[in-house]
Structure 1
């Protein structure tokens, strides 16, 4: 795929900033590139102090929600939690349940069946909660778009508290004026609702719940340390729900990761061990690609109960058995996802779908819970918004993943007359519609789109052109101040224009790692690893320099291959030796 390499060109007096912040000029430049312009912002970014978090009382409806819950606890009412089946739903439901029990509440947690019921609170959950004796139901990570089930709860005389973070639906008149639509709950807590003064709108569902728990713990004089203990769960939800790691989210994840590495929760510890992470410093990457997918697999292929039981496990043996079950579910999910991705790519590349700017693909014999993951893989491969559908009893059901220049939520709202169910945010959506409307949806999305060819070219943003001679262990330690990395706070991207390759080898059980020994124009040599498509790398080098030069490269002989790399430095520890190496992210040829 063609890429556009762009050097970040934000300006500041980096030397002066570095002196005042007690960091290197390189780090100062990176922080400015992250959009921070005021020194107090930069100090907060570097200190990552939990006391800098905003008060939950600033969130519209939060005080009323707290008071309704306190009343229910004081009256010994059974409190129902209606959560969802993904990471954010599971972890927010568990956290709120833990907190309510801690303050003396009686609690039962309900979640929908992904296949038969779909997203969010539904009439079955409402009725079960009512028949169990509950008269207060609290939603976690859902509810903002749940109109029918909440109406039903109110008909039964129940009190409904909605806690959510998803976009609020709206109707637009001919003049473009919007009327926002809220469910008929007693109180709605969502920082994205109209008129909410809360300064940070980017919390996940578990983050919103954390703010509610904080107020409840303050009222019941629960020690602050117990509140902070919940941050490991909120951190998993934040990363797995792909929230921007800025402002409060970065604080949550930074501190949550420290707790995860030494978790007190038997289930979390068992899952970390089962995934082979017990000797590692847990990072946001491990949440996003190892731990999070295991929790998601429960809601996708089995029931949320497995994940909730793991988090509530009381013995090491129970935790071990449940962790093994989750890991097996996730392994099965990975195999099924790969098959679905291959089918989708074949469908796109053997039809006129390849020319669409918005990909709309229907798959056969694919588990409906995997369509979101498959859509994400298509987005990564083609750098286009992608929606993937499968047949269900009532028509077709799908999930979409978007790119930065395309607000999927708003574009689908323009087609709401075709949809039977819909919810989401700018970067992702879930929807259902009649099968006969799918081709119309595809046509309309592509006719309406303002995406240009330029929008579809991936941009590689380079923080600093940095010669590898600058790299050492002290610099790597300083880079850790910028963690955790993820969406909204990406790893810095460094680049250098000319590397000769002294040796190339393919490593790994699956022959999927390319190890290079590279040397720059100043004579600094270093090992480099590339985890991308090795076949494509070789084809590119052969196209630019010829097969003979690539053959020499693999033999360790002098060759003409000269490439530019973007990279990130890491420390390689092997048999007691520590050496700096780089992980190659992108490559191209820059002619001298």
Structure 2
């Protein structure tokens, strides 16, 4: 079920348009994204690295820089331990490259998803001790790893935690919360209460990058030399689905503009095998092409393969590894499709029983794709979803949430049911003992306060704009709004009642529908729908008119250019 809302935010759109030389429609779109003051509008349109906050405002950044400077000078062995997802791998590479360029003796470990689980643990710390490591620095993990961090200190290691995840807490009798921070020598996480960094929404790679800026400044080195790492930061920011606002927006814009200039052989090979080496790279390419290949390595093999790719200097070897990653991702897609089909059936049964939080158990599912499957089911049914599978130590899985349900906070209320858990309001991971699955399902639902209105998918429309208004120039101007992603979604317009003159269905899976449309003013335009033919025909039932939400594009084919709309949501009427 969907509910459509049109933004009614007010501003002097004509005045803003004139001041910044943009179409009033563009001014409306910017206002809809809560970019209001002149300073905010200027940063949104023209923000550069000069507008990024002083890295020393990060709590712990100065102390970390001082420790690392000393370790590099004394030639101590430093080990980076990251997560195995895109953000983790990119954080790892950013730290490794920046520290080795300064002459540091640095290596890295990325936990094996199946063997080690998420983040740093005592086993990885023991291995570091055995290898003669002096200092461990985590990235994109560690904030919840109190025991492992404490163990590292007991073994004489210098422990530095850098992360961006929510800080674990305990509820006190007076209703306040007490943060539970790991006992590291330094903790750098903009989410900790005592950190007053102006933009706390950085991903793990953003924290790592800012930390290296602080170190370079401490050593009197040029911070600009770190800008060749911005493409890695851009991919991490997009793939970790953090808000593309403020500093994240600047990092992504700057990173995408430099993506073909990284000089990194492995990165270029990854672009080449996907035929992106000659193309202008957009956030879509990072989120749906490059990122999934990196993730597939951490899910089905080891993410250290990706780090190896980024360290490879031989173009032939790099292309071979990049091709392997592409094949792994194809295998991941197949496994995901099978899991989604089975999961939807089970989730429907949960809903029939009255469950609001859908806990799906897929014993044969590869645990690495549980989160992707949970996300797909959540998108389809618009309920919070957990997908769990069998692991060596019990049940293990991932959850994906809807905006009205903070998954991490709800899990904190029943934390005794888990052997391990962590995450964000919108996504989480967990492990539990065999035999506690039903208890988890029952307790997470018992405390759930969601109502039926929370399960209605809310479609937010920027403007009720007839297709007659679309021009090539307007679409070109819309590029100033990029990059698109969470917190800065693609603009969405609506047109009420377009006449459907002709329908064509094509594509391998018969999932591309092309409609020849005509407005009441006589404007003709093609509309594209990407959906299974059977589902489309069920909705259409020979009706003559379509009311839809859309995003306008310029279609180029054999040198010919025409306007087109990509239809997102729709329903048909007879008249």
Does TM, normalized by the shorter one, top 0.5?
yes
Distance in 2 between residues matched to 1:124 and 1:314, nearest whole Å: 32
Per the alignment, residue 585 of structure 1 pairs with 568
Q: How does 1:104-119 map to 2 (within 5 A)?
A: 104-119=103-118
Q: How does 1:456-495 map to 2 (within 5 A)?
A: 456-495=455-494
The CA deviation at 1:41 is 0.5
The CA deviation at 1:116 is 1.5
The CA deviation at 1:107 is 0.3
Per the alignment, residue 531 of structure 2 pairs with 532
The CA deviation at 1:261 is 4.1
RMSD of equivalent CA atoms:
1.4
The CA deviation at 1:255 is 1.3
Per the alignment, residue 145 of structure 2 pairs with 146
Q: TM-score, normalised by structure 1?
A: 0.95
Per the alignment, residue 575 of structure 1 pairs with 558
Per the alignment, residue 232 of structure 2 pairs with 233
Per the alignment, residue 546 of structure 2 pairs with 563
Per the alignment, residue 365 of structure 2 pairs with 366
The CA deviation at 1:44 is 0.8
Structure 2 SS opposite 1:432: strand
The CA deviation at 1:360 is 0.4
The CA deviation at 1:174 is 3.2
Distance in 2 between residues matched to 1:64 and 1:126, nearest whole Å: 22
Per the alignment, residue 331 of structure 1 pairs with 330
Per the alignment, residue 406 of structure 1 pairs with 405
Asked if residue 191 in structure 1 is aligned to residue 198 in structure 2, the reply is: no
Per the alignment, residue 6 of structure 1 pairs with 5
Distance in 2 between residues matched to 1:234 and 1:76, nearest whole Å: 27
Conservation of the 8 A alpha-carbon contact between 2:509 and 2:532? no
Give the direction of change, closer, same or farther, for the CA distance of 1:196–1:351 in structure 2 (3 Å limit): closer
Distance in 2 between residues matched to 1:261 and 1:439, nearest whole Å: 50
Per the alignment, residue 436 of structure 2 pairs with 437
Q: How does 1:276-315 map to 2 (within 5 A)?
A: 276-315=275-314
Per the alignment, residue 41 of structure 1 pairs with 40
Unaligned runs of 5+ in 2: none
Distance in 2 between residues matched to 1:57 and 1:351, nearest whole Å: 49
Structure 2 SS opposite 1:230: helix
Deviations 1:507-545 (A, max 9, x none): 212221001111111100011111134322221111xxx
Conservation of the 8 A alpha-carbon contact between 2:540 and 2:571? no
Distance in 1 between residues matched to 2:153 and 2:412, nearest whole Å: 27
Structure 2 SS opposite 1:584: strand
Distance in 2 between residues matched to 1:223 and 1:529, nearest whole Å: 49
Unaligned runs of 5+ in 1: 543-549, 551-559
**Runs of 4+ displaced beyond 6 Å:** none
Structure 1 SS opposite 2:165: coil
Distance in 1 between residues matched to 2:410 and 2:439, nearest whole Å: 14
Distance in 1 between residues matched to 2:482 and 2:438, nearest whole Å: 44
Conservation of the 8 A alpha-carbon contact between 1:348 and 1:354? no
Per the alignment, residue 134 of structure 2 pairs with 135
Structure 2 SS opposite 1:436: coil
